[in-house]
Amino acid sequence: MATITLPGGETVPALGQGSWKMGERRDLRAAEVAALRAGVDAGMTLIDTAEMYGEGAAETLIGEALGDRRDELFLVSKAYPHNAGRDRLPKACEASLRRLGTERIDLYLLHWRGSVPLAETVDAMHALRDAGKIRYWGVSNLDVEDMAELVAAGGDDCASDQILYNLGRRGPEFDLLPWLDARRMITMAYSPVEQGRLVGHPILKQVADTLSATPAQVALAWLLRRKNLIAIPKAGTAAHARENAGAADLHLGDEVLEALDRAFPAPSTPSRLEML
């Protein structure tokens, strides 16, 4: 499994696991637990979640599924924008810690920008880190202008920006990804296969057939080529988790990359950062 180096020198897997919509249906719970554990077995030990996901249901599921394997994990969670102030962020963090069944969150993110001033959120994140509740902090869904404001507000130690980025959503390549790379801030790509919608694309299917791979594996391998990026696909079954993990071993040659560029062109102008 390829790794990404965090600002402090620690390495984490370049391919992790997402949890959007997990933990919300009792009839899927056993399969979701098996998926998370199979993913960890395959080396995808970075787990992403958020207090918003099922209003804590995903965090609870992760705590139950992987509580006995906590020392193997790098846990990422996200706080609502309305909880991002100095008074509410500690309470939101404590609630996430309880649901996850842990004493620390490895990377804690502002889920998207709200009305709380970024400077206040930075101060609140620093306080949580100093208290040992979190190890690193970052943001999600912030564009270049937001990130520049964050740095100016004292957030130059931000570890990551989690964004919507995949073959069909290449807008961040124009300005945001270079900006993050220049500052050694990690890009985390959520919805890396567009919630499954990319796998039906005819060119992606054609490329996958030539590589004896699946379309999802090709889409993930395309992302994993970047040196400063973590992809966090979700899997609902153990078989799906193992399929995702297989992308880490897939090499995309020049001809394949050229075919993908023709089917999914790179941006030539700046665009607004998209969200799901």
Largest CA distance in the chain: 55
Q: Identify the CA nearest to 135 among candidates 155, 91, 105.
A: 105
Terminal Cα-to-Cα distance of the chain (whole angstroms): 28
The first and second tokens of residue 61, run together, are: 């599921």
Catalytic residue among 53, 108, 165, 190: 53
145: left (phi over 0), alpha (psi -120 to 50) or beta: alpha
Sign of the C-alpha dihedral, residues 125, 128, 129, 135?
Answer: negative
Q: Could you tell me which residues are beta bridge partners of residue 146?
A: none
Whether 80 is a known active-site residue: answer no
Residues 6+ away with beta carbon under 8 Å from 73:
40, 45, 46, 47, 66, 106
Q: Mind telling me the catalytic residues?
A: 53
